[in-house]
Structure 1
Amino acid sequence: MTIPTSKLRVARPTDDIKALLPFYRDGLGLQVLGEFEDHEGFDGLMLGVPQGPYHFEFTHHRGHGAGRAPTQDNLVVFYIPDHAAWQAAVERMRQAGFEAVPSRNPYWDREGLTFEDPDGYRVVLQHGAWKDGL
């Protein structure tokens, strides 16, 4: 049995929610969908596209450290088949002050660019279409 089509939340901890905001809001162009403070010791921020099929949630547990990404292979990949839209996404990242970094896996450098957030997690802007089964 497979999981039915649903919304996807990518949730992860961080030590500094405010440091992530420029990367995901200004660079990727996501909107703040919600936030909370001191919910049972957690602060949080959700970013995405209103009514979109996914969003990101970043949480900080007060008094606890989250640390950086464990490897450079912690990726979120956005497939952008339209060349003008891909170029605009890359330019928005650069205008927000973020430069591409070499991907640990050279596959992602052939058709895309990889950007690293302040916690060391990476986002690939892949110039290509999603291919089912791959």
Structure 2
Amino acid sequence: MTSISLAYCPITVDDVEAAIPFYRDGLGLEVVNDVAYDGHRWVSLGFAGQEGLSLVISDPIAGRSPEDGESLERLVVKGSGPGPYVFSTSDIDATFERLRSFGAEVLQEPMEQSWGPRDCAFRDPAGNHIRINQV
């Protein structure tokens, strides 16, 4: 059987520069590529121990038609964009405190969920819903 894996996950943000510290410093991802083209920017952030997997942040119009980009931008600005994006960590309390210290908007403090994981929730600087599970 042929193997398959996820290569990247796009996250749309209204301000790429403002989003980088949240994902790099707050979540601990590493910038592995930063591409600018035609007035847009795609920043790929890698996960430690997960070679070949990246999160790619870009503005709503990057790689889309202006009409599609404007529609997506309206959703992102309202906090109604795609998501939630769910991450896992071995230490949810430390991750929570690190993100809170960066000024991320807290949606939910760490708590046990009835469906299993202990998790918490934030909004990134663009308003995207970010959940973090403890593994």
TM-score between both structures, scaled by the size of structure 2: 0.69
Residue 126 (structure 2) pairs with residue 119 (structure 1): yes
Pairwise CA distance, 1:41: 5.0
Aligned residues: 119
Which amino acid is the alignment partner of residue 70 of structure 1? Answer: S
Q: 1:99 to 1:120 in 2, by over 3 A?
A: closer
Cα distance in 2 for residues equivalent to 1:121 and 1:15: 10
What is the percentage of aligned positions where both structures have the same residue? 26
Range with greater deviation from structure 2 (62-71 or 11-20): 62-71
CA root-mean-square deviation: 3.0
Cα distance in 2 for residues equivalent to 1:50 and 1:10: 15
* Residue aligned with 1:88, SS: helix
> 1:37 — aligned with what?
36
Cα distance in 1 for residues equivalent to 2:43 and 2:83: 20
> 2:98 — aligned with what?
92
Q: 1:107 to 1:17 in 2, by over 3 A?
A: farther
Cα distance in 2 for residues equivalent to 1:112 and 1:4: 30
Cα distance in 2 for residues equivalent to 1:50 and 1:33: 11
Q: 1:31 to 1:41 in 2, by over 3 A?
A: same
Pairwise CA distance, 1:18: 0.6
Cα distance in 2 for residues equivalent to 1:119 and 1:97: 13
Cα distance in 1 for residues equivalent to 2:93 and 2:54: 22
Unaligned runs of 5+ in 2: none
